[in-house]
Amino acid sequence: MVTLHNLGFPRIGAQRELKFGLESYWKGESPRQALQALGAQLRQTHWQQQAGLDWVPVGDFSFYDQVLDMSFTLGHLPERVQGFHGDVLDNYFRVARGRSAGHAEHPGCCAGVAAGEMTKWFDTNYHYIVPEFSASTTFTLDASRLLAQLAEAQAQGVRAKPVLIGPVTYLALGKAKDGTDKLALLERLLPVYAQLLDTLAAQGVQWVQIDEPILATELGADWQHALTTAYHQLKSCRVNILLASYFGPLLDNKYLAAHLPVAGLHIDAVSGRDDVLALLGLLPAHKVLSLGVIDGRNVWKTDLTALLDWLEPLAARLGERLWLAPSCSLLHVPVDLASEPQLAPDICAWLAFARQKLDELRLLGQALHQGRQAVAAELAANAADLAARRASPRVHRPEVQAAVAAITPALGQRHSPYAVRAALQATQLQLPPYPTTTIGSFPQTPEIRRARSAFKRGALPAAAYQAAMQAEIAHSVREQEALGLDVLVHGEAERNDMVEYFGEQLEGYAFSQFGWVQSYGSRCVKPPILFGDIHRPQAMTVGWSTYAQSLTDKPMKGMLTGPVTLLNWSFVRDDQPRAVTCQQLALAIRAEVLELEKAGIRIIQIDEAALREGLPLRHSQWPAYLDWAVASFRLCANGVHDATQIHTHMCYSEFNDIIAAIAHMDADVITIETSRSHMELLDAFEHFEYPNAIGPGVYDIHSPNIPTQDSMVQLMRQAGRRIAANQLWVNPDCGLKTRQWNEVLPALRAMVAAAQALRAA
């Protein structure tokens, strides 16, 4: 009957053990053996937690990144790490983060090296280390890591299914800086994969999971052909290949996927359920079909009864050929709901983290093997929890739904076109040419963090906390006035995180304590859980902003996080379209915008740091996303009077493909990341006449280096070749919260001097 398996398990540990172990090892505070032992212990725990599945992933554990692991397995290391002292793991961390652990005895050769570039893993918030290809790239098998983990699993009696990134996805994820055609490397790559598969077969492996998530993207004929070539060449290997696609439906790749010569196909049956019927017709009769039916990207309980209604006929039809799994690796969800005693019990009852998702999977297996009556009590409990969620007044608020229903395009429309507004704003704000400003946050000092955590613990009374934050605001206002900045900010001392700060004040949001998800290496994020209709009970920022404005005659920017960013950096509801949730967030932020305006704040910045991240994997779906995302921004921002100046901020370096949508947001001023890419991204502005004002970030806040006045003047001159001088602002490329005051002050002093030099010219 049905076979149960898993594609990957979170490796960071329920208490982020791996994070702390890695960081202590990197600092030289704990020895290599301690890190190795921690890895083994985490793997063992995670395999135990997957007990009862027919196949358990092996090789999904990683000390940094699974793509980097694959590069090392393929013997594919950048040349710049060759010739250093140490072993493979030292080099591994060199590529991952620029240096291995702190070895004082090798100061020369261990000074550090450029880390590999990092980029987002498909449409998730996980970042992988980009493989670096060139014409001279070669591959040689190093199966040692995988074989060691396999031996460990086999010794523990685990039914091991090694997991690999497929050759075609591996090539697709890499970059060839010298312009080499990546697909030309396929023929060098495939023999190494074949050797690896045979090596695994020799160790008694029956099934190998090979991930090719590019099957969920649009594929040109050359990439389709590469998949066909690859799997025809690997089909003579002595293992069964389970080819795994996830993160979206197969759509037009169905035929290709169904006919690749492998023993089984895994698909994302959460987002791609509509593919299944057609696949049944397409799949050759001997092939396994693995359905990823439990959502590996979100935190909600599965409706098991509804799923069984759908699965039972499929199980009858497919028999032994049916496998079940989560839709993708569970890397993208927190580990264990049992670590969350502080979550409200009603909300807790609607959720499933990685371990709970595997419980659901086991239950499905049992229901299919033994009939539903064998698990009747569990199914009834699941149904009751979901019914409670559907009926909860915390989830459904008629007044919010009525407000969404009443949204009209007029709400997202400024009264006058930009030119009219700009003229009015110029007379009211009296800003010089090349106005200077910052992106919002100032250094989050240890004192600020201490005060905030004491306040949260209840150890600092509200009045004392408010006084402490006001003192920080006053300090940052004094510094900005002394620097001579034109548009000031309050500094965001009161914010821990730009999403959490707003989520905590909005009804409809819940927060876990240990709901960490790996973002890259040892870094984790804890996305808030958006569970219900969004209601803003009271003003969230007005008090801080008006206090800050009261200290200065210069305009004080109100500082908000935009609806699309709040959405994209949260776990969001699966019971209504993302677009609707975004509209609710937009209405809440709109209310804040209008209240700030009413309180006398003349400039309001609405950050949309994550707008680009929400882009669907398939380009054909971009317009639909951009439509509602931009409409939500317009809804939240554009209810103000002409004289109120709206800013937005985005920290990306790729604009070319979405510039029209960005312009349609109609913010009066947009500040963007440009310094690291040397204004390269302004290419977008060459072919597109951006109508409103732009502040191209003139220095990289991610580096502790102090930029020179001259370098910033040069960058602005470069920008000036594409954008009219009266459209330009001068600002850093992002918020300054991760920097220290002794870095920020000289940098901003030089930036203000750069603006003065530009004005004088």
Residue number, nearest CB to ligand GLN: 735
Q: Segment 159-218, which members bind ligand GLN (CB under 6 A)?
A: none
Positions in 30-49 near ligand GLN (CB under 6 A)? none
Q: Which is nearer to ligand GLN, 315 or 615 (CB)?
A: 615
Residue 367's binding partner among Zn ion, ligand GLN, none (Cβ under 5 to 8 angstroms by kind) is none
Site for ligand GLN in 535-574 (CB under 6 A): 559
Report the residue from 39, 264, 296, 735 that binds ligand GLN according to the rule CB under 6 A. Answer: 735
How far does CA 703 lie from the centroid of its chain? Answer: 22
Catalytic one of 225, 259, 396, 702: 702
The answer for residues whose C-beta is within 8 angstroms of residue 567's C-beta and 6 or more apart is 530, 578, 581, 582, 585, 614
396 catalytic residue (yes or no): no
Task: List the x/- string, 465-494, binding to ligand GLN by CB under 6 A.
Answer: ---------------------------x--
Cβ neighbors of 277 (< 8 A, separation 6 or more) are none
Question: If contact means CB under 5 to 8 A according to the sort of partner, which of Zn ion, ligand GLN, none does residue 152 touch?
Answer: none
- Cα→Cα distances 72→62, 89, 138, 314, 595, Å: 12, 10, 12, 40, 55
Contact 358, 49 (CB under 8 A): yes
Written as six digits, the tokens of 311 are: 């699965």
734 binds ligand GLN (CB under 6 A): yes
Q: Is 747 in the site for ligand GLN (CB under 6 A)?
A: no
CB 164 within 8 A of CB 196: yes
The site for Zn ion (CB under 5 A) is made up of 651, 734
Q: How far is the CB of 651 from ligand GLN (least distance, A)?
A: 5
* HSE of 280, CA atoms in CB hemisphere, 13 A: 15
Q: Does 737 bind ligand GLN (CB under 6 A)?
A: yes
CB 672 to Zn ion: min, Å: 9
Residue with tokens 């994820």: 173
Interacting residue with ligand GLN among 234, 609, 748, 755 (CB under 6 A): 609
* Residue from 81, 439, 626, 630 in contact with ligand GLN (CB under 6 A): 439
Q: Please report whether residue 651 would count as binding ligand GLN according to CB under 6 A.
A: yes
Q: Does 731 bind ligand GLN (CB under 6 A)?
A: no
Q: Does 421 bind ligand GLN (CB under 6 A)?
A: no
Nearer to Zn ion, 595 or 673 (CB): 673
The DSSP symbol for 604 reads E
In angstroms, give the least distance from the CB of 485 to ligand GLN. 14
Shortest distance (Å) from residue 649 CB to ligand GLN: 5
Cβ at position 671, least distance to ligand GLN in Å: 9
The single residue among 607, 642, 668, 700 that binds ligand GLN, judged by CB under 6 A, is: 607
From the list Zn ion, ligand GLN, none, partner contacted by residue 636 (C-beta under 5 to 8 A by kind): none
Residue at 294: amino acid letter: I
Beta carbon of residue 548, minimum distance to ligand GLN (angstroms, whole number)? 14
Q: Residue 371: exposed, middle, or buried by beta-carbon count in 10 A (0-12, 13-18, 19+)?
A: exposed
Q: Which residues make beta-bridge pairs with 326?
A: 294
| Total of residues contacting ligand GLN (CB under 6 A) | 13
Of Zn ion, ligand GLN, none, which one sits near residue 441, judging by CB under 5 to 8 A according to partner kind? Answer: ligand GLN
Among 377-385, 720-728, 731-739, 745-753, the segment contacting ligand GLN (CB under 6 A)? 731-739
Residues with Cβ within 8 Å of residue 66, at least 6 apart in sequence: 8, 60, 128, 163, 165
CB closer to ligand GLN, 106 vs 702:
702
Residue pair 324/3 in contact by the 8 Å Cβ criterion: yes
Rg (CA), the chain: 27
DSSP annotation of 733 reads: S
The amino acid occupying position 108 is G
DSSP output for 435-492: -B---SB----HHHHHHHHHHHHT-S-HHHHHHHHHHHHHHHHHHHHHHT-SSB--B-
Residues 248, 440, 532, 696: which binds ligand GLN (CB under 6 A)?
440
- Closest CB 739 distance from ligand GLN, rounded Å: 11
Q: Is 530 in the site for ligand GLN (CB under 6 A)?
A: no
Query: How far apart are alpha carbons 317 and 311 in whole angstroms?
Result: 10
Determine the Cα–Cα distance for residues 202 and 163; give it in Å rounded to an integer. 16
Residue 163, C-beta contacts closer than 8 angstroms, at least 6 positions apart: 7, 8, 57, 58, 59, 60, 66, 208, 209, 211
Nearest approach, Cβ of residue 559 and Zn ion (Å): 12
Contact 704, 739 (CB under 8 A): yes
- CB pairs under 8 A, 24+ apart, for 686-689? 686/722, 688/659, 688/660, 688/663
Binding site residues, ligand GLN, CB under 6 A = 439-441, 492, 498, 559, 607, 609, 649, 651, 734-735, 737
Q: What amino acid positions are annotated as catalytic residues?
A: 702
